[in-house]
Amino acid sequence: MTSEIELTFIGTGNAFAPTRYWSSFLLNSRYLFDAPPTLLPHLKKLGKDPRDIDVVFISHFHGDHYFGLPFLLLEYAELAPRARDLTIVGPPGIAKRVQNTTDLAFSNVFRKDRGYHLDFIEAKDGKGGEAAGITWTARRVEHVSNLESYAYRVEVDSRSLAYSGDTVMCPPLVPLADGADVFVVECSCWGEQCGPHLNPRNIMELREKISPQTKFVLTHIGGGEAPPMIHDAGILIADDLQTLHF
């Protein structure tokens, strides 16, 4: 029997979205992709136990993608002690960045007696690994010049998922997603000028180049309505607090 992919969207908006919360999602309740400031209250609103998260993948160090980690770590320190190991995968400097940010917010969180092992892994282009039942590979993508940004492809229970993170159109995206069961991909506006992000024309180009069996789900969305070509291509647009099954 083929296992199911369950995606629960903590939020689906970009940093400026007028009606959506910042983008993040859970895979099978155990694997978190990006950690926005709204992470903790939305997990609780969804009825998700924060202690069920075993691995966190951070795409890059913009605040809407990782400022939720201090609150998550505070939860473990004060209200919901955990015993299982926690792995955080992210760009180079992930351990120092998370500890410094957390120390600024809550100075008591990084203590020696936390009760669980916290493991940081630095992503590099083409680097892979395994943690808590998930196999992952990182690809460096192009977003802004002063930050390293990463997309991820993961496999769990014989199913595969690709996540673009924040990016412009760049060579790694097609091999990253081709043949995956699901591709969660950013589309930061419905026009042509999206800044250092993907636009609908880019999404359609990716749809043409990536295998038909790969389901596209758009996130990191701004305001307005998607152009008809997105719906006509069978591309899904995620909503805040929505759960999708594949």
How far apart CA 44 and CA 245 sit, in angstroms, is: 20
- Mean pLDDT of all residues in 35-49: 97
Q: Which two tokens stand for residue 94?
A: 């992930």
Has residue 27 got a pLDDT over 70? yes
- Mean pLDDT of all residues in 80-84: 94
Q: Can you name the CATH fold of 6-245? A: Metallo-beta-lactamase; Chain A (3.60.15)
Has residue 2 got a pLDDT over 80? no
Please report the beta strands in 112-235, taking only residues with DSSP state E, as ranges in sequence order. Answer: 118-122, 128-131, 134-141, 149-156, 159-163, 182-186, 215-219
Q: Which two tokens stand for residue 30?
A: 């155990």
Alpha-carbon Rg of the chain, whole angstroms?
17
| Percentage of the chain lying above the pLDDT 90 cut | 96
Q: State the pLDDT at residue 114.
A: 87
Residue ranges per structural domain of the chain: 6-245
How far apart CA 197 and CA 187 sit, in angstroms, is: 7
pTM: 0.97
Has residue 32 got a pLDDT over 90? yes
Q: What's 106's DSSP letter? A: -
103: annotated active-site residue: no
| Catalytic residue of the set 34, 64, 166, 240 | 64
